Chains A and B, each alone.
Chain A
Amino acid sequence: MTIRVKVLDRPIEQVSYVRSTLSGLMTTLKHLVDPHKVTMQYPEEKWELSPRWRGTHRMLTTESGKAKCVACGLCPTVCPANCIKLVPGEDEEGNRYPLLFEIDEFRCIFCGYCQEVCPEEAIHLGRHYENAEFSREAFVYDLERLTAQTHPVSDLWDPADPKSE
């Protein structure tokens, strides 16, 4: 038994694609001339980050270019992700300084406790998000890498509104 298909004989204005194609092109044309833009032209344009943005770390230095860190050991102690490795030592002048200071940015949860606890205002989170690397090892930042960073650092909180009220 053959299947019979009922074919409706619709008016041409309902089945023609010309009309909808033209209406689509009208939308394109409208956006072509409309100055309102949604897409950000990254990387030519960049986001403006909040002053409280918490990105990968940066170690601040003294005027002489040495890391401000005195290896007090508070940041590895407070770190909930256990991502900071610190071995204290002594420099030529007998000052305490970090012999080894490494932050595993993959383990880091960017809570900002290290910046908050630091008595020397040495370690900071960065207002920065371009972190791409070609290897996993490169995400373990050593002291040299941390001090070489130049991006701005996080405020953690707004000084005018410390409790976010």
Chain B
Amino acid sequence: MSETTGPKMVTLTIEGRTAVVPEGTSLIEAAKTVGVLIPHYCYHPGLPVAGVCRMCLVDVEKFPKLAPACATTVMEGQVVHVHSEKAREARTGVLEFLLINHPLDCPVCDQSGECELQDYTFQEGRAESRYEEPKRFNPVEDFGGDVLYVPNRCILCTRCVRFMGDVAHDPVLNVSERGDRAFIGKADGHDLTNVWAGNVVDLCPVGALLSKDFLNKARAWELDRSASICTGCSQGCNITVETRDNTVVRLKPRPNEAVNQYFMCEHGRLDYRWINRRDRLDQPQVRRADGALRVADWEEALDAAADTLRGRRVHVLASANASNEALFLAERLMAASGGRGWFRIARGAEAPLPGVPDLSLRAERAANATGARLLGFEELTGTPAIAPADAVLVLDDTLDGELPAGLVEALVRGATLVHAGTTLPAAIAGRASVVLPLTNHTEEEGTFTNLRGRVQRFLQSRTAPGLARPSWFVLGDLAERLDASAGFALPAEVFGAMASAHAAFSGLAYERLGLRGLPVLDAEARGLTVTDAVSA
């Protein structure tokens, strides 16, 4: 066996636990590996180390004085005490200083419940302040974009300054004034309009930087959180969907080193209102003899949909936000009958985050265009070739509510239309023979394939409206009626069938994807990996 070429490992003891970490790791990261959280404010794994908050002071044996854990690298045989008398006393002192000018407005502060100042003060701060002078006061400032700055609450950790300067390469923020007058200033004539600026709200450990969108909407402890994938573009940023009373109130980035690190853009962050829309399709409908769409039960609607598609070539107009599972089942329908599959996609300007390799708001503004391409769908350009004897299955394609030109003509000349979707655009309502209500991606589970061929799972975070059913479930039932194949009971089963049917997905298993995803087979050969550096 050849010698390992990895970095040299260092062994040290933290709070009596033995940590083995690569050389050059900071104490704060080494402590995380053995389950010890060293309190900190200015340190963030996605930002350069500043060492300004002095909160992460720890007691290292044989060091003359306390060391900041974020700026001290590990050394062989080091013995670190995080909760020794000396270290705790130092941190209690730091907290007392931080609270000198911090207002006691937790009841009205949006950060309350997820505030690190609250947590650590509760954990190891003084019960009462000894400060008797009046507190410093600065008025609230609108930073532009989605960000509001409340200087009174600011503890000057400079995470926001470092993010804008070193990660976004748009140094709009700075520390203005010095001493107790210091506050976070904004460069004259500039606003936080950078498409990545919203991350400073997540980075802020206290309630100094707030999202205007989320302001006063909910308390942190009322929210239900579930892991999901952003559908804003084909980057596939890992996110947490936060809901309150079955309504999505905010989206937050979820760390994934391989995709988005700790960040997400404003486009994805604020693009959640459509998820909560109230005009959802919630009952199956079938066109009756009198020519009107009427509510039907699922069995009847699925039978009618199968009758509409049976014996015809089935073409599929799919949404590029449909899951791999739904697209796979739709592809089976069209492949069995010799039909074709298309998707339409919205495009916008690309906006990279310079400080993170291969992270960008992508031009293709849909989550699963790559998955659709791998499964044999093509982007619709021009007029789709649909014969009058064909059938069309629209799979949640709601792009601008209009059907492509050629499709409408084909429908007029005798082609049939089955609509399976989350909403019912007027252009489709007048022509569909059967309408099947589907859940959107927050109401079902499944996988998306991002532009680098990474297959990532998203989980359910809300309940479905009315009788709507998950897309893979509906399409599985439809396939069962058309070709007498067995239906599916779980998305994992659909994924299994997809992995055995499509070479690109072979070797992947739903359970093994975890919540960070795995790349598809031969992503490089399929031209999905980075060929040139995206970072500027």
Contacts and interface: CB of A to CB of B under 8 A. Distances in A.
Contacts of A72: 106-108, 112, 219
Interface in B469-508: none
Contacts of B219: 72-73, 77, 88
Contacts of B221: 73, 77
A70 B108 contact: yes
A95 B106 CA distance: 13
Nearest to B107: A72
Contacts of A158: none
Interface string A59-80: 0000000000011111001000
A119 interface: yes
Interface stretch (B19-27, B210-218, B417-425): B210-218
A96 B107 CA distance: 9
B249 to A, nearest CB: 11
B107 A89 contact: no
A72 B222 CA distance: 11
Interface residues of B, number: 12
Given A72-B112, A73-B222, A77-B221, A120 B216 contact: no
Interface string A71-103: 111100100000000001110001110000000
Contacts of B140: 94
A65 to B, nearest CB: 20
B215 A90 contact: yes
Contacts of B215: 90
Contact of A90 (B107, B112, B216, B222): B216
Interface string B179-223: 000000000000000000000000000000000000111110110
Contacts of A119: 106-107
Nearest to A119: B107
Contacts of A88: 216-219
A77 B108 CA distance: 15
Interface in B121-172: 140
A109 B112 CA distance: 27
A40 B33 CA distance: 72
A85 to B, nearest CB: 10
Best-surrounded residue of B215, B216, B217, B218 (most CB of chain A within 10 A):
B216
A73 B223 CA distance: 12
A70 B107 contact: yes
Interface in A23-60: none
A96 B214 CA distance: 12
In this complex, which of B106, B107, B215, B218 has the most chain A Cβ atoms within 10 angstroms of its Cβ? B107
Contacts of A94: 140
A73 B106 CA distance: 11
Contacts of A95: 108
Given A96-B108, A119-B107, A120-B107, A71 B222 contact: no
A135 B70 CA distance: 63
A89 B110 CA distance: 12
Contacts of B217: 88
Nearest to A72: B107
A94 B142 CA distance: 13
Contacts of B112: 72
A94 B140 CA distance: 11
B106 A96 contact: no
Nearest to B113: A73
Interface in A98-146: 119-120
B216 A89 contact: yes
Contacts of B107: 70, 72, 74, 119-120
B154 to A, nearest CB: 18
A89 B216 CA distance: 6
Interface in B217-254: 217-219, 221-222
17 contacts: A70-B107, A70-B108, A71-B216, A72-B112, A73-B219, A73-B221, A73-B222, A74-B107, A77-B219, A77-B221, A77-B222, A88-B219, A94-B140, A95-B108, A96-B108, A119-B107, A120-B107
Interface of B: 106-108, 112, 140, 215-219, 221-222
Given A72-B106, A77-B221, A95-B108, 5 more contacts: A70-B107, A73-B219, A88-B216, A88-B217, A90-B216
**6 nearest A-B pairs in the assembled complex, by CB-CB distance:** A72-B107, A73-B219, A96-B108, A119-B107, A70-B108, A96-B216
